[in-house]
Chain A
Amino acid sequence: EVQLLESGGGLVQPGGSLRLSCAASGFTFSSYAMNWVRQAPGKGLDWVSGISVSGTSTFYADSVKGRFTISRDNSKNTLYLHMNSLRAEDTAVYYCAKSSGSYSWFDPWGQGTLVTVSS
């Protein structure tokens, strides 16, 4: 069974940093592109970032470009999202999601991890 398990969320002050992790199992992690999608409380879905199978190509939403960095460790079957200069508007549940390539749907999704940016 394909499983994605996010961790690393929590409460952080504005301007702070956090690293999210997504542990993958049940499939060949190194063969699939991966993504981060967030959902602010009571709001819709917002794609944040994506990464190619090898990690050499990365993509970002304009709202996080220059502040967030996506990476992966294929030897550990783990996806990461390094978040710097956090703002109140970054408060959201962050989901990791598997996709087959650059032009592919997201399936499945992890259960999410909550990031709260507040003083």
Chain B
Amino acid sequence: EIVLTQSPGTLSLSPGERATLSCRASQSVSSSYLAWYQQKPGQAPRLLIYGASSRATGIPDRFGGSGSGTDFTLTITRLEPEDFAVYYCQQYGSSPKTFGQGTRVEIK
């Protein structure tokens, strides 16, 4: 099973600042089969990024994904008020399709 470790656990930033979230895998993720999701309180997760760097339909271009192998990054270039949420990475290249434990982006 591939274990995904996200860091930091919590990121305290102000609107307009840049957010950098990390996701490290315990072994190489096949073909960059890595996704990022956003979850707000009381809501279902929403797909942001798939294939490590492709934005899902309707996702603003301030969200960007990068990385390969075992190290992946989600970058939010300029935080908007609606971006404060919990973010999860997921690998879907091998079974079971594991998730990271999440990074909470909170308002400083």
Contacts and interface: CB of A to CB of B under 8 A. Distances in A.
A29 interface: no
B45 A44 contact: no
A32 interface: no
A57 to B, nearest CB: 11
**Chain A at the B interface: mostly helix, strand, loop or mixed?**
strand
B100 A61 contact: no
Interface in A68-119: 95, 99, 103-112
Given A45-B88, A103-B92, A105-B90, A112 B44 contact: yes
Q: How extensive is the interface on chain B, given as a class?
A: 20 to 34
A50 B94 CA distance: 12
Contact of A47 (B31, B47, B99): B99
Contacts of A59: 95-96
A106 B49 CA distance: 11
Interface residues of A, number: 21
B72 interface: no
Contacts of B30: 103
5 contacts: A44-B88, A99-B92, A105-B35, A105-B47, A111-B44
Interface of A: 35, 44-47, 50, 59, 61-62, 95, 99, 103-112
Interface of B: 30-31, 33, 35, 37, 39, 43-47, 50-51, 56, 88, 90, 92-93, 95-102
